[in-house]
Amino acid sequence: MVVQHIFSLSAKRQVGQVYTHLHILEMKDDIASEANDSHRRALIPRMKKCLTWNCGVRVQEITDDGVVFADGSGDRQVITADTVLYAAGLAPRQDVVERLRTESGCGWFVPVGDCVRPRLIKQATYEGFCAAMDIL
């Protein structure tokens, strides 16, 4: 999956307690859109209790003060944060897969998940399950 997620964290101290706010910047048009429908219906109300998010955004810059992004209309927005976590998908390493296939000595070799191509966790898990069932 080649998706940018920016998690903007800001902590506020008050009388020895730390309150952390998590804000998500999501490239997709909706949050958790790839989740199973029943999981998503349970997840979203819980997320609303402790998270905020913007969807359909493009991150432009990460600064010392936070994140600069373009919203769905293309308008420049800035969100302050003392900690930024960045998550993005990666391209598969086909060279490693082929080396393992030829050098492993296994008669049966089945690559699954992101080493085949970027995809959702549900798809990768299903591929792994099918490969395991083929052993039986």
- According to the 3-state scheme, what is the secondary structure of 35-60? CCHHHHHHHHHHHHHHEEEEECCEEE
**Residue 2: per-residue pLDDT:** 29
Q: How far apart are CA 57 and CA 43, in angstroms?
A: 21
Q: What is the value of pTM for the model shown?
A: 0.60
Q: Which residue has the higher pLDDT, 131 or 77?
A: 77
Q: How confident is the model at residue 19 (pLDDT cuts 50, 70, 90)?
A: low
Flag whether pLDDT at 46 surpasses 60.
yes
For residues 13 and 93, the answer to whether their CB atoms sit within 8 Å is: no
Q: How far apart are CA 111 and CA 90, in angstroms?
A: 16
Q: Where are the domains of the chain?
A: 5-87, 94-135
Average pLDDT of the chain to the nearest whole number = 79
Q: How far apart are CA 128 and CA 110, in angstroms?
A: 9
